[in-house]
């Protein structure tokens, strides 16, 4: 074959197709052969890989360990304790994910005891070891994955356009019209694909395969209809057929590949790991933040370069750079328009005396916050900060220290910095927390304090992990950046660093809980932003309905205030679940159960990146549903969909399952407020009868304050109105069971 190919390329041989006047040169024929050879070679490599795996899948591993056990042992032997071994579906879909710090093993590897499974598991753990050691090519590989995926798709276009050029297909008025027709078909295909992606994202139902099948048959029909013209002798008809074939193939390939890849990269892959999907606004905000950060780092490097030849002591140059970093980080935090910085310094700390500053660690923003607080400090960092291509050179110039060097070796090196008046910043957890929970403190910081004769100065941080989480480090969200400087404590007994670490960890957790209870409120813009993003890409009507509803509800401030912050809360008539999710986000001690009779709404509510194990949604008829025991029942805008006797029955069933001191919170239109009630009734008629956003199988029946008072007295409950709307008859009632 190689000899024939060279002969053709050298000879200039061509075939004449008669009246069509189409010439196939040796280069064209050689290109066809090369494409075929490359395709065959790729298939052969894949087949060989599968064959080898099947062969060694039949050979048992001598130790009898499964792939998962091999992976866990390899991680332990390499002292890697922050990587989990998980199970994923598929065949040979094994991979290491540095974002979630997981080694993902496929069905044929996870529980298999074969040599092949052990080899694959060890291979993927090798990537985890490389990541732990800061292996640069692995980092580059992870960054290039999206580029490679997109490039493979773009290559399809290049090949198709290249083939059209080699075949001599020229654009004229007819082919332009035909191209417009084909591109129109491509738009339809794109709409079908996007509809399937959005349907799967909204409810979890897999509709994409059905849409792809429909697209295939549609494309096949067009190809058969227009492709038959390829056998025509007339050159114009022949070219029409060729451009139709290549055009349809191109639009099918694009709809099958580009859209799903981009959607998964920006939306579904983000939500699968518990993060928010990207939107245009979030992308702009993220690019703005990182643009500011990178620009600041470049200016600092320029400053270092400028100071280098000047005839002054290195210590003075470092002091100038340190002063610049302090003010630049303060300016950066102020320039973040979607975040608000709150600094609490009840002790009046001035950092005039050096100290070992310890803080909880949630995000890379923690570094910026601490440098903005401490005017003169060096930091003990981990590997990724030390080797960062953006700011690694800066921290090395300032004399920051690598934690891998060991605290025993760091103490003598830091003594000179302390003598110059520098504090030492340490994150005792050693790594960032993925969920904000404070992990155990290591004793290195307390060893340094004892060796250097310094006080321990704790700083508690809140909100940084919300703005830029470990799961989504390249995603800047709305929120608050709160820091509280705590009182200094003298270093304790040098013989018992572990006890000091445990005591400091307990103190930090108590202070963090105080900040959590204070700022985990609807006033924090993070929660409104996350709630809206949970309904983004689930249909424009639903998204804008939620935007309006959340604004009208004032981000559910009232209900966060009157609903207990811990215990079981049952949201009856939860709909799409906005209130349920808001209450769950605002307090991790609430267990939320949402119930609704609309199956489609429950399905949508269940499929959200905000859902956590303590949040449950049930499809049931409120008139007959079995209710769990609860600390609070919510009946918001629900009662008027039922008959009066059904309303009283539902309240009675809630009262029977209500714990002592628990509350039944009802919001409904008060029919006794005649004038204002007209607006309320008209709104509900519009929602149910005209728009059809809410479903009802009968007439609406609004209750009144006297009727609810009578029902409460009959059930032995105390009742009072918590809120009355100034424009409508909507009233919020709290029915409380005495303790």
Q: pLDDT band for position 460 (50/70/90)?
A: very high
H-assigned helices in 462-524: 464-467, 497-519
d(C-alpha 657, C-alpha 365), whole Å:
45
**pLDDT value of position 174:** 57
Burial class (CB in 10 A: 0-12, 13-18, 19+), 633: buried
Among 41-55, 345-359, 439-453, 626-640, the minimum mean pLDDT is found in: 41-55
Residue 387 Cα to chain centre, angstroms: 25
Q: pLDDT band for position 686 (50/70/90)?
A: low
Using an 8 Å Cβ cutoff, are 513 and 452 in contact? no
Q: What is the mean pLDDT of residues 666-683?
A: 79
CB atoms < 10 A from the CB of 616, how many?
Answer: 16
Pairing label, strands 84-87, 102-105: parallel
d(C-alpha 215, C-alpha 226), whole Å:
16
Q: Which residue has the higher pLDDT, 412 or 656?
A: 656
Nearest to 308 by CA among 298, 299, 318: 318
Q: pLDDT band for position 608 (50/70/90)?
A: very high
**pLDDT value of position 47:** 65
Q: What is the mean pLDDT of residues 569-575?
A: 95
**pLDDT value of position 673:** 83
**pLDDT, the chain, mean:** 81
Helices (H) and strands (E) in the chain, counts: 27, 19
* Residue 117 DSSP label: H
**pLDDT value of position 86:** 87
**pLDDT value of position 54:** 78
**pLDDT value of position 732:** 93
**pLDDT value of position 654:** 96
Q: Which residue has the higher pLDDT, 714 or 686?
A: 714
**pLDDT value of position 16:** 40
| Total residue length of the chain | 739
SS3 442: coil
The DSSP line for 275-318 is: -PPP-HHHHHHHHHHHHHHHHHHHHHHHHHHHHTTSSS-HHHHH
Q: What is the mean pLDDT of residues 592-611?
A: 93
Q: What is the mean pLDDT of residues 363-384?
A: 89
d(C-alpha 11, C-alpha 27), whole Å:
10
Token pair, residue 33, equals: 């052969």
Tokens 């490679």 sit at which residue? 148
**pLDDT value of position 252:** 77
Backbone angles phi, psi at 263, to 5 degrees: -65, -40
The DSSP line for 368-416 is: HHHHHH-SSEEEEE-HHHHT-TTTHHHHHHHT-EEGGG-HHHHHHHHHH
Nearest to 630 by CA among 663, 651, 655, 658: 658
Across 102-138, b (16+ Cβ under 10 Å) vs e yields: bbbbbebbbebbbbbbbbbbeebbbbbbbbbeeeeeb
pLDDT at 172 over 60: no
The per-residue pLDDT for range 487-507, each reduced to its tens digit, is 998 876 666 788 889 999 999
Q: Which residue has the higher pLDDT, 134 or 664?
A: 664
Token pair, residue 178, equals: 């035909």
Nearest to 630 by CA among 572, 717, 583, 568: 568
pLDDT at 161 over 60: no
d(C-alpha 644, C-alpha 175), whole Å:
69
pLDDT at 228 over 70: no
The per-residue pLDDT for range 609-654, each reduced to its tens digit, is 999 889 999 999 998 999 999 999 999 989 988 999 999 999 999 9
The secondary element (H helix, E strand) that includes residue 715 is none
Token pair, residue 54, equals: 């099947």
Backbone angles phi, psi at 637, to 5 degrees: 55, 40
d(C-alpha 8, C-alpha 1), whole Å:
11
Q: Which residue has the higher pLDDT, 329 or 92?
A: 329
**pLDDT value of position 148:** 44
Q: Which residue has the higher pLDDT, 63 or 578?
A: 578
**pLDDT value of position 10:** 39
Q: Which residue has the higher pLDDT, 62 or 478?
A: 478
332, 340, 515 from 350: Cα distances, Å: 21, 22, 22
d(C-alpha 736, C-alpha 660), whole Å:
9
pLDDT at 529 over 90: yes
pLDDT at 293 over 50: yes
The DSSP line for 592-646 is: EEEEES-HHHHHHHHS-TT--TTEEEEE--TTTPPPPPEEEEEEES-GGGS-HHH
**pLDDT value of position 210:** 74
pLDDT at 482 over 50: yes
d(C-alpha 617, C-alpha 599), whole Å:
10
The secondary element (H helix, E strand) that includes residue 717 is none
* Percent share of the chain, pLDDT over 70: 79
**pLDDT value of position 46:** 63
Helix orientation angle between 115-132 and 26-57, rounded to the nearest 10 degrees: 110
The per-residue pLDDT for range 246-276, each reduced to its tens digit, is 777 777 777 777 778 888 888 888 888 888 9
**pLDDT value of position 626:** 92
Q: Which residue has the higher pLDDT, 188 or 54?
A: 54
**pLDDT value of position 11:** 38
Using an 8 Å Cβ cutoff, are 530 and 585 in contact? yes
**pLDDT value of position 177:** 60
* Percent share of the chain, pLDDT over 90: 39
pLDDT at 25 over 50: no
Q: What is the mean pLDDT of residues 279-302?
A: 92
- List the strands of the sheet with 377-381, edge to edge: 339-344, 479-485, 455-462, 355-359, 423-426, 377-381, 401-402
Rg for the chain, CA atoms, rounded: 33
Q: What is the mean pLDDT of residues 326-352?
A: 93
The per-residue pLDDT for range 401-459, each reduced to its tens digit, is 877 767 777 888 888 889 989 999 999 998 888 888 899 998 888 988 988 889 999 99
Using an 8 Å Cβ cutoff, are 546 and 532 in contact? yes
CA angle 34, 35, 38 (to 5 degrees): 85
């Amino acid at each position: 074959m190689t000899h024939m190919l060279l002969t053709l390329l050298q000879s200039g041989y061509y075939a004449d197709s008669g009246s069509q006047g189409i010439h196939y040169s040796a280069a064209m024929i050689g290109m066809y052969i090369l494409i075929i050879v490359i395709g065959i070679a790729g298939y052969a490599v894949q087949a060989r890989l599968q064959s080898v795996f099947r062969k060694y899948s039949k050979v048992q591993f001598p130790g009898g360990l499964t792939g998962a056990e091999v992976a866990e042992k390899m991680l332990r032997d390499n002292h890697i304790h922050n990587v989990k071994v998980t199970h994923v579906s598929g065949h040979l879909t094994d991979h290491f994910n540095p974002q979630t710090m997981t080694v993902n093993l496929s069905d044929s590897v996870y529980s298999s005891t074969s040599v092949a499974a052990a080899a694959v598991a060890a291979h993927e753990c090798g990537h985890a070891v490389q990541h732990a050691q800061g292996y640069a090519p692995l980092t580059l590989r992870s960054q290039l994955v999206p580029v490679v995926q997109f490039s493979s798709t773009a290559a399809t276009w290049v090949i198709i356009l290249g083939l059209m050029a080699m075949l001599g297909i020229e654009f004229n008025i007819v082919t332009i019209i035909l191209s417009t027709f084909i591109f129109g078909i491509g738009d339809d295909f794109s709409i079908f694909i996007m509809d399937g992606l959005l349907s799967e994202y909204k409810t979890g139902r897999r509709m994409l395969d059905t849409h792809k099948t429909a697209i295939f048959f549609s494309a096949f029909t067009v190809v058969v209809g227009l492709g038959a013209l390829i056998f025509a002798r007339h050159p114009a008809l022949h070219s029409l057929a060729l451009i139709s074939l290549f055009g349809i193939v191109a639009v099918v390939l694009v709809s099958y590949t580009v859209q799903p890849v981009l959607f998964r990269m920006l939306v579904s892959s983000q939500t699968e790991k518990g993060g928010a999907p990207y939107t245009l606004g979030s992308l702009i905000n993220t690019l703005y933040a990182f643009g500011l950060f990178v620009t600041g780092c470049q200016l600092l490097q320029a400053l270092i370069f400028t100071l280098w030849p000047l005839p002054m002591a290195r210590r003075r140059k470092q002091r100038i750079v340190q002063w610049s970093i302090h003010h630049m980080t303060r300016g950066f935090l102020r320039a973040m328009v979607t975040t608000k910085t709150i600094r609490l310094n009840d002790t009046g700390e001035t950092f005039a005396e050096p100290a070992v500053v310890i803080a909880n660690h949630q995000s890379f923003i923690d570094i910026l916050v601490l440098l903005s607080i401490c005017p003169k400090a060096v930091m003990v960092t981990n590997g990724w900060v030390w080797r960062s291509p953006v700011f690694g050179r800066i921290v090395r110039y300032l004399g920051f220290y690598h934690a891998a060097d060991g605290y025993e070796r760091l103490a003598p090196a830091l003594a000179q910095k302390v003598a110059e008046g520098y504090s030492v910043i340490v994150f005792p957890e050693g790594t960032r927390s993925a969920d904000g929970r404070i992990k155990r403190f290591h004793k290195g910081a307390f060893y340094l304090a004892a060796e250097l004769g310094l006080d321990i100065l704790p700083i508690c941080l809140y909100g940084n992990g919300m703005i830029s989480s470990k799961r989504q480090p390249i995603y800047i969200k709305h929120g608050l950046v709160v820091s509280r400087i705590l009182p200094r404590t003298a270093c304790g007994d040098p013989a018992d660093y572990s006890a000091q670490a445990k005591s400091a960890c307990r103190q930090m957790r108590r202070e963090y809980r105080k900040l959590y209870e204070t700022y985990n409120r609807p006033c924090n813009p993070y929660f409104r932003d996350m709630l809206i993003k949970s309904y983004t890409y689930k249909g424009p009507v639903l998204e804008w309905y939620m935007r309006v509803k959340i604004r009208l509800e004032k981000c559910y401030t009232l209900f966060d205030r009157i609903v207990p912050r811990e215990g079981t809360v049952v949201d009856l008539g939860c709909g799409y679940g906005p209130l349920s999710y808001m209450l769950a986000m605002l307090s991790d001690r609430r267990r939320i159960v949402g119930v609704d009779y609309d199956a489609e709404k429950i399905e949508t509510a269940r499929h959200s990146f905000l859902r956590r194990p303590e949040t449950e949604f049930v499809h049931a008829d409120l008139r007959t549903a079995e209710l769990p025991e609860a600390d609070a029942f919510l009946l918001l805008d629900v009662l008027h969909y039922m008959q009066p006797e059904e309303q009283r029955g539902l309240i009675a069933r809630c009262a029977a399952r209500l714990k002592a001191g628990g509350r039944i919170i009802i919001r409904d239109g008060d029919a006794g407020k005649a004038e204002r009630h007209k607006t309320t009734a008209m709104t509900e008629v519009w929602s149910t009868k005209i728009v059809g956003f809410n479903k009802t199988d009968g007439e609406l029946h609004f209750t009144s304050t006297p009727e609810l008072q009578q029902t409460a007295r009959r059930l032995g409950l105390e009742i009072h109105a918590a809120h009355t709307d100034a424009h409508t008859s909507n009233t919020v009632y709290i029915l409380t069971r005495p303790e």
